[in-house]
Each structure stands twice: as C-alpha cells, then as structure tokens.
Amino acid sequence: MSRQCPVCGKLLRSGSEAAISAHQRESQSCRPKAGRDESSTVKALEERLASVIAEGKTIGLSAGSFEQSQRNEAERAEIERKIKQARKDQKADKRAIKELAARSMSAVSWTQGVLEGDARYAKASEDGVETRLAAETVGLVTADAFRQKREELEADNVAKRRREEDEERNAADAERKRKAARKAKREREERRGLSFDVEDE
C-alpha cells in the first residue's frame, strides 16, 4: 500500500513507518514544502523539521547511538504533528475569514445593518428638545428667533419634568394614604372580633 511522505509530499511505494523514516533519512530531496501562503508558524516548524531530518541523517551516517536515533525520531514525529495541527488551524482560520467575508458582503447583511442603524436613530426620544427645535425651526430663522424658540422648548421641558415629578409624588402620597386606610380598617375589624374592649389610644 502506497503512502505519501508527510514532509515532502512524495508518494512512496511502501506505506510502512520504516520506509517513510528511511526515505526521510536517506533521500536528499525530502525537504518540506512551504507554500508562499503558509503562516510563519508553519514555515518555522518546517525549517525546524528540515534541521531535525538533517540531524537524523548525520546520526545515521556517523553510526550514532540508538538513543540519539530514537530521540531524533520522536522529535521529528512531534514536529510533524505540530505542523499538521498548525495547518489545520490555518485552514480553519481561512474558512472562518471566507465565511465572514461572504456574510459581510451579502445584500441581506448590508440591508440589516442599515435598518439597525436607522432603528438606532429612531430610538431617540421624539419629544426631545433638540428634535422639537429642529422641527419647529425649519427654514430661514433669525438667531434671536432660534434662541427664543430654544428657551421656550427648554422651559416647556423643565415644566413637563416638574409635572411628572409632582404626579409621581402625588401618586406615592395617595398610595401611602391607601395603605394607611387599609391598615386602620384591618385594625378596626380585628378589634370588633375581640371579646373584650380595647381602649383607643
């Protein structure tokens, strides 16, 4: 069964780990391919992998110890795993960017953005001083007339706020009085239910 070399991409006749290791150790053409659109992380890892492979070749040629060979093999496998993960992450990032670009360039999202923007402006209070001032001073108006209209609107706004505060205060007083009346009524009813007389305070 044939298998592709994870470093150089060459298709090997034998897919065994031993054949791939021998190819990477002995072949002069087994160098990682770094594409021009690869991330700097992938490029750095591939450079490190190339140096580890070269180191493995020198260990094999100089009859290095078995421990050195095993360490080199483990390091190479770890770097290959990191390269694979980095490429996977890079592909996921590219896919996410393409999806974001497609969403941001679609007419639906543009229209939705415009509508949401309009809604933001529509949420401003309709009876605000600035809104009313703009509506009531349309056309050519003198600076004095503009200033006078602004003062009138601000005075109306202050009077409206005072009325609202008075109404809230009156409503709170009325609620307090209703609660006191209910409490007094409840106490009277409780006194009627007693079998003895209670002196009023």
Pairwise CA distance, residues 78 & 45, whole Å:
10
Q: pLDDT band for 34, please (50, 70, 90 cuts).
A: low
Burial class (CB in 10 A: 0-12, 13-18, 19+), 88: exposed
**Is the pLDDT at 174 greater than 90, yes or no?**
yes
Q: Which pLDDT score, from 0 to 100, does residue 197 have? A: 59
- On whether residue 174 sits in a domain, the answer given is yes
36 confidence band (pLDDT: 50, 70, 90) = low
Statement to judge: residues 72 and 144 lie in one domain: no
Given a cut of 70, is residue 31 above it in pLDDT? no
Examine residue 11 and state whether it is found in any structural domain, yes or no: yes
65 falls within a domain: yes
76 lies in the same domain as 9:
yes
Residues 133 and 86 in one domain: no
Residue 86 and residue 7 share a domain: yes
Cα 142 to Cα 114, 131, 145, distances in angstroms: 35, 18, 5
The CA–CA distances, whole Å, from 146 to 80, 115, 130, 155 equal 75, 33, 12, 14
Q: Which residue has the tokens 């896919």?
A: 95
* Domain range for 33: 3-90
Residue 183 Cα to chain centre, angstroms: 54
Among 63, 90, 117, where does a domain finish?
Answer: 90
Return phi, psi of residue 11, to 5°.
Answer: -85, 120
- Distance (Å, whole) CA 95 – CA 81: 21
One domain for residues 81 and 152: no
Q: What pTM does this model have?
A: 0.36
116 lies in some domain: no
pLDDT at 104 over 80: no
**pLDDT score, position 144:** 85
**pLDDT in the model for residue 181:** 94
- Do 84 and 14 sit in the same domain of this protein? yes
Instruction: List the single range of 41-45, 109-113, 114-118 with lowest mean pLDDT.
Output: 114-118
Long-range contacts of 92-97 (CB under 8 A, 24+ apart): none
102, part of any domain: no
Higher local confidence (pLDDT), 181 or 3: 181
Q: How far apart are CA 55 and CA 32, in angstroms?
A: 15
Q: How far apart are CA 171 and CA 175, in angstroms?
A: 6
Give pLDDT, residue 200: 54
Averaged pLDDT, 128-147: 78
User: What are the tokens at 181?
Assistant: 């009346």
**Phi, psi at 92, each rounded to 5°:** -65, -40
**Number of domains, the chain:** 2
Residues 67 and 10 in one domain: yes
Q: Give pLDDT tens digits for 53-83.
A: 888 877 777 777 888 888 888 888 898 888 8
Same domain, 86 and 133: no
Structural domain includes residue 115 = no
Q: Both 15 and 82 in a single domain?
A: yes
Q: Which residue has the higher pLDDT, 99 or 26?
A: 99
Same domain, 148 and 86: no
